[in-house]
Amino acid sequence: MSRVQVIRPEGVMPASSDVRVLLVLDPASPPMIGGGDGWTQANVTVDRGGMDALTIAALQRTDVVIAEVDPANAAALASFEAFAREQAGLRPVIAAVRDLTVATTRLVLRAGAADVLPLRFSATELAVAMASAASLDPVAPVSRPTKRGKIVALVGAIGGCGTTSIAVQSGIAWAATARVCLIDLDIQFGNAALYLDMRSDLTLADVLDADARLDVDLLRTIAQTHASGLNVIASPSEILPLDTLSPERIDKMLAMATQAYDVVLVDLPGAWTTWSMRVVEVADLTLMMTSLTVPGIHQARRQSEIIAANGFSERLRVVVNRVAQPMFGKVKLGETEALLGRRIDHTIANDYPTVSAAIDAGKAFGAVKSKSRVEKDVRAMVGELTTLLQAGPAA
């Protein structure tokens, strides 16, 4: 049985990774991976003999198996299920599926797959699968997390104040220390995935289509992973009516998300609906973004009054974006806070060139301009919010 080293992109995973991955492909499937594009060797081997031809010796040298399976082929699916059952408690078995859909994802998850990857999967997706395998205990079944993740809702008091860009950059910063998912609930004009330079066939529409079938594994599969480690559930590719969502659907989706992630960021639309207010109701914190302009402060006051009228003001944090920094001293916000009728909790510096370049490239502010003020402000805000979330409801 012939084996060849496969490839991985430099910078995605350390070359010294101790996770040994066996990629089992159908002998008849077209070539999927090749060298010559700057990739380096990794602890991954490719086997084109199929699952039935795997030897005990080969499996003993393997920590995780990624096996190609055709869910439309009943015999192949049954074979995969038997193989996954045999490996239970020994090593995770991840399914690799061509033309992946929500329906086929559900089938292979039911067949015992620890996770599902599309074929052809990207270099980043392969690296993420390897990194996930490194966190699994190969001698014991994987248990579900019992600790509930925290929900942070983001809403713009006025259009164009940078809510999505700050949601995206906060997610990138948070992902350095926690499992984070950004859910773009702006089902008509959402751009979170675009701001990360991500394209995906799986979006929030697939979460909604799953309906009663939605579970933690399916939600994880629909979420796409950015190079930073941030997971993103993109807004639908087509504009949907606002009444497509409901408080009941919100409750189920967020219940699944908080089982899968430590922090769930929710980018809300500008319009208030019963379901968007439901997000604010269940959120541990709500960030209201606004600008340091007369319309921005006026609308922020109106929005905060709505939130207060519903009894959620104690979990509200006001964030003023694009604040011009004085050459010396701190920004004076006393007069603005008097007009707002409450304290301003966080300010983000105005740095249009850095923000614009980061959005165009789908990168962190720091990757565009090292030690920029806007990056420092976002990181400082994330640090303070992390402390608040860890302190619990009494904060």
Residue-range domains of the chain with CATH: 3-134 (3.40.50.2300), 150-391 (3.40.50.300)
- What is the model's pLDDT at position 147? 55
Distance CA 290, CA 296 (A): 5
Contact 46, 74 (CB under 8 A): no
**pLDDT tens-digit series, residues 135-168:** 554 433 333 334 589 999 999 999 999 999 999 9
Distance CA 289, CA 163 (A): 6
Confidence category of residue 43, pLDDT binned at 50, 70, 90: low
Mean pLDDT on 43-57: 70
**pLDDT tens-digit series, residues 20-33:** 778 888 777 765 54
Round the CA-based radius of gyration of the chain to a whole number and report it: 23
Q: By percentage, how much of the chain surpasses pLDDT 90?
A: 55
3-state helix, strand, coil in the chain (%, to 5): 40, 20, 40
Distance CA 155, CA 358 (A): 21
Q: Residue 67: what are its φ and ψ, rounded to 5°?
A: -115, 130
End-to-end CA distance of the chain: 60
SS3 98: strand
Lowest-confidence pick of 126-130, 172-176, 240-244, 321-325: 126-130
Q: What is the pTM of this model?
A: 0.67
Distance CA 317, CA 332 (A): 18
CA of residue 140 relative to chain centroid, distance: 27
Q: What is the mean pLDDT of the chain?
A: 83
pLDDT at 361 over 70: yes
